[in-house]
Structure 1
Amino acid sequence: MNAAKPTASLFQRPAWVALFAFTAAFAWGWAYPLIKLGFAEFGIGRDMTGSKMLFAGIRFCLSGLIILTIARLTGRSFSLKEDGRKSVVGSCLFLLLFALLNTTLHYAAFYIGLSYSLGSRASILNSLSVFALVLLACAFYKSDKLIFRKVLGCVTGFLGIMALNLGGEESGAFTLMGDGLIIANALCGAFAGLMTRGVNKRVDVFVGTGYSLSVGGALLVIPGLMMGGTLHNVTPWGIVILALLIGISTIGFTLYNKLLTCNPMGKVAIWNSLIPVVGAVTSCMCLGETFYSKYALAAVLAATGIYIINKGKK
């Protein structure tokens, strides 16, 4: 008798991969206007770095605790896997580094950078993480080969990012505190995505995601408080905004990290091309920002680069 073929995981079936990746990207796109609305509602000004870190830390720490609670209630193992037990100290340091890149450094740069940049502009600029992860995966994983199609796609995508600097100053020019930190945030996200498979080798990825967000969030709260950070104006609407951001983190990271562990990274990361489109449109809708023509050009170039990278994939 022929052995039955193993059933593919729900997270490996093409239709579900598309649905889950779309859900994560769409949710993350909404974070741009919500963060800016949260700053305004809680009375967090541009130069209030401690308050920004506190706001971000509360969001991610609570999100991580929710994920860990769900993991406990659903009976997931919190123990290190066999590969992780080979070097307990090394595994703990790896998970700590993941928390720093995936949450602490990632979102410290994001929250500070976003307050110095238009939400629509930042969302497109952040698509750098998509192309960075594609190239990093080629460098670190033998299964991801660097071929001409990927190079052409990345070059096209980078042209989209460069297109943001076209036009007059009224539509935004490059700034270190704004665009510079958004780029740093994108690179942190790309490196964290690269580490996700390593996390899955050491611990259940659902639990690892919870650790990353809760520990990384706490490492934002502590310095935020030490810098005098506070949420000056707590209102019901502000709490709703914070709750929505917590939900975005919980759903987005859980789905995205799980998909990265059991699918080709490019196949999953490429869906993040939706983030700049959703982020730009929702920022203009919710914040009253002007949608400049160069945003459309940048989004088209980024989407074209993503199509080129995925063209011919089976």
Structure 2
Amino acid sequence: MSKQTIFQRPLWAALFAFTAAFLWGWAYPFIKLGFDEFDITADMTGSKMLFAGIRFFISGVIILSIAKLTHRSFSYKEDARDSVLTSSLFLLAFTLLNTTLHYAAFYIGLSHSQGSRAAILNSLSVFVLVLLACAFFKSDKLTLRKMVGCAIGFGGILSLNLGGEGSGSFTFLGDGMIILNALCGAFAGLMTRGVNKRVDVFVGTGYSLGVGGALLVVPGLILGGTLPHVTLLGLFYLLMLIAISTIGFTLYNKLLTCNPVGKIAIWNSLIPVVGAVTSCLCLAEEFQWKYAVAATLTTVGIYIINKGKK
């Protein structure tokens, strides 16, 4: 039996998964604060894509530079060399889902929604990925516990639309884009093991963020996107977002390649809790009762899915 790596040891895997989820939760307020500091308004789609593209392009360059310095292989693995075209198309699809489409929808949706609401709604990706993993991977079996946990988690998401007129209603550019982003994230997570079979996952993550970021910058510029008001504080928010992407994706994608997908993905249900709380603290958003209900239900869903796991 091969020796377990640090990413497979239960305590370290949990710590790394928690770290990625905690960091991603902070992305919600930092993005909205960045929009405000750079004077990017809700109708400036090109500028939002440019802002996102710069973040992910630089993050990808950092990861690829570290990969080069640590002498990681940039070549396809032996099993993938017989079908270079197929492997390249697979990596391109992963790049589009993991970065370009994923975050184009995310940035547009977040600018039309409260950060706390978007954070909880985005937890849809967690439960979708848990179910998809059961369908595609033998290491993730569909059990009654998982079905009940996912049902309760979905209930938390649906509770976002409870309440009166002042509590907010579904909008395509807000909630719709966040849901699209969540689905892209779920399918990208499902593809991570396929990436690892074709190329070093660290390198694959760098390509995904770097190329995916560039594919956001180009249309952003074509649409007339700019950063209207550059300040030191704005650059600080951008640097924090770059750090979140670099650390979060590196840890998360590596964990998905060597652990049951559901065991890792379910930790992302902490993202809405962190995102909702930090958005209310940093953005002075009102913490509505339905956020507490949604966060509680998603957390209960996590507990039920993980209950009894060794």
User: CA offset at residue 86 of structure 1?
Assistant: 1.9
Aligned residue in 1 for 2:26: 30
User: Residue 215 in 1 paired to residue 211 in 2?
Assistant: yes
- Which residue of 55, 70, 74 maps to 1:74? 70
- Compute the displacement of 1:170 (Å): 1.9
Q: 2:11 aligns to what?
A: 15
Instruction: Count residues with an aligned counterpart.
Output: 310
| Residue 181 (str. 1) matches residue 177 (str. 2) | yes
Deviations, residues 226-268 of structure 1 (Å, cap 9, x unaligned): 0000000000000000000000000000000000000000110
Unmatched runs of 5 consecutive residues or more in structure 1: none
What are structure 2's unaligned runs of at least 5 residues?
none
- Confirm or deny that 1:303 pairs with 2:295: no
| Structure 2 equivalent of residue 100 of structure 1 | 96
Amino acid at match of 1:85: R
Aligned to 1:258: 254
Q: 1:240 aligns with which of 215, 236, 239?
A: 236
How far does residue 141 in structure 1 lie from its aligned partner after superposition? Answer: 1.5
1:157-176 equivalence runs, <5 A:
157-176=153-172
Residue 145 in structure 1 maps to residue 106 in structure 2? no
Q: Which amino acid aligns with 1:115?
A: S
Aligned partners of 1:125 and 1:219: how far apart in 2? 26
Distance 2:79 2:259 in 1: 20
Shift of 1:307: 1.1
Matching of residue 83 in structure 1 with residue 67 in structure 2: no
SS in 2 for 1:260: helix
Query: TM-score if structure 2 supplies the norm length?
Result: 0.99
- Residue 172 of structure 1, CA deviation: 1.6
> Equivalents in 1 of 2:2, 2:135: separation in Å?
30
Once residues 148 and 217 of structure 2 are traced to their aligned partners in structure 1, the CA distance between those partners, rounded to angstroms, is 41
Structure 2 CA distance, aligned partners of 1:124 and 1:194?
21
Tell me the CA shift for residue 143 of structure 1. 2.6
Q: Deviations over 1:135-160 (max 9, x none)?
A: 11111123322221111111100000
Which of 283, 289, 292 matches 2:285?
289
One-letter code of the match for 2:284? G
Pick one of 268, 272, 284 that aligns with 1:276.
272
SS in 1 for 2:7: helix
C-alpha separation in 1, matches of 2:79 and 2:98: 21
Identity of paired residues, percent?
76
Give the AA of the match of 1:162: L
1:43 pairs with one of 39, 43, 56 = 39
Q: Tell me the residue number matched to 1:156.
A: 152
Of 32, 46, 52, 1:56 maps to 52
Q: Counterpart in 2 of 1:114?
A: 110
Q: Secondary structure, in 3 states, of the residue corresponding to 1:10?
A: coil
Q: Secondary structure at the match of 2:296?
A: helix
Counterparts of 2:78 and 2:180, CA distance in 1: 34
Cα distance in 1 between the residues matched to 2:293 and 2:255? 30
1:185-215 CA-to-partner distances (Å, cap 9, x unmatched) read 0000000000000000000000000000000
| Deviation for aligned residue 1:311 | 1.2
Matched letter for residue 148 of structure 1? L
Shift of 1:6: 3.4
CA RMSD of aligned residues (A): 0.8
Looking at structure 1, the residues matched to 80 and 110 of structure 2 have their Cα atoms a distance apart, in angstroms, of: 36
What TM-score, normalized to structure 1? Answer: 0.98
Task: Determine the C-alpha separation between the residues in 1 that align with 2:29 and 2:137.
Answer: 35
SS at match of 1:87: helix
1:165 deviation in Å?
A: 0.5
Equivalent of 1:226, from 189, 209, 222? 222
